A = this chain, B = another copy of it.
Amino acid sequence: MTKKEIARLCGISRITLDRVLNDRPGVSEAKRKEVLSFLEKHGYRENRIAQSLVRGESRSFGIIVFDLNNSFYAQMVNAFQQAAQEAGYVSYIMLSNKNPEMEQVLLEDLLARQVDGIVLNSAVKGPDYGGYLLNQGPPILSVMNRISPEVPFLGFDEYASMRELTAYAASQGFRRFYYVCPPLARKETSNMDSLLRRRQGFEDEIALISGAWERTIDSPDFSMQLTEALKAESERPCILCTSDIYAVEIHRALMNEKFESPRDYAIAGYDNIPMLHSFSPRLTTVSLNIAELGREAARLLANARKGQPLPKERLMAHTLMKMDTL
């Protein structure tokens, strides 16, 4: 049932009806009551599509992430969606599967749907893309992976966090380091900004540790390689993984060979994924407040609608979780 129909049935004009619906003055009490009771009875639902068209805003945000099976993104999207909702925006969520062409298609779709803001966890980087994004109308916020310096970015200080972790390991006396990051093997083909920054943090810190030795493992059979390596180690080594999932897998593989942490080796993960709660020994890791990032993204976009431009860069807090294994 449209406003026109209701107005006709109530014997008033569309604008009067509007005034009642929006609780605005310009209508007598008697009529207001009458209309209200009519609406009560027959029900009326506004058509947001028509509203969007005339208002030039859709009260919606879009968010593009790789996928939702990764609990890290799921948490982010969850928090984002929630905060957006509280601010009065609904969310389109779109999954790019790290596919640049797909990302492009999704972006165009969001734009065509006149969203009021976009959060983009991009698989693409570079100034060309950045320039394009800047010229599309609604504010676009890149998260996790930087796209180019001009594109507003919200993420974590991954460089600093990895330096801290490395420094902590050194302070515990470790000098032999294994750095595990399988995705690095594909670093030329995808946007690995955040992983590269972690890597840089590790390297810069290692350079300051006298007598430090390091080996990077970026192949898919990292577990096997480490098993071999451990057998040859005389000194207790420290294994730094760029994600908890690698750490968990390595721990299991080494356990099969009767290696135990922290007895025979130290190991740390990254991300503080939920399953660590039910993992023993308790894994030392870096916790990123991803939910807070999701909320902040929604806040920034909502504020952007109110005239406050997106910050060029905003870094959220991280925490070193010193547990049993390092």
Q: Spell out A's residues near B (CB within 8 Å).
A: 45-50, 52-53, 58, 60, 67-69, 71, 74-75, 77-78, 81-82, 85, 90-95, 106, 108-109, 111-114, 245, 248-249, 252, 274-275, 278-280
Contact = CB atoms under 8 A, between A and B. Distances in A.
A159 to B, nearest CB: 28
A278 B74 CA distance: 20
Given A49-B52, A68-B75, A71-B74, A95 B82 contact: yes
A154 B289 CA distance: 35
A46 B91 contact: no
Contact of A90 (B77, B81, B109, B249): B109
Contact of A113 (B48, B71, B81, B249): B48
Given A48-B114, A92-B92, A278-B275, A74 B68 contact: yes
Contacts of A49: 49, 52-53, 58, 113-114
A191 to B, nearest CB: 21
B78 A95 contact: yes
Nearest to A46: B112
A248 B278 contact: yes
Contacts of A93: 77, 81, 91, 93
Classify the interface of chain A: helix, strand, loop or mixed.
helix
A2 to B, nearest CB: 12
A52 B112 CA distance: 11
B68 A81 contact: yes
Contacts of A252: 278, 280
Given A50-B53, A81-B95, A91-B92, 13 more contacts: A45-B108, A47-B53, A48-B113, A49-B52, A67-B78, A69-B75, A71-B74, A77-B93, A78-B95, A85-B106, A91-B93, A92-B92, A93-B93
A148 B92 CA distance: 29
Nearest to A45: B112
A275 B275 CA distance: 6
A312 B69 CA distance: 29
Contacts of A50: 53
A203 to B, nearest CB: 29
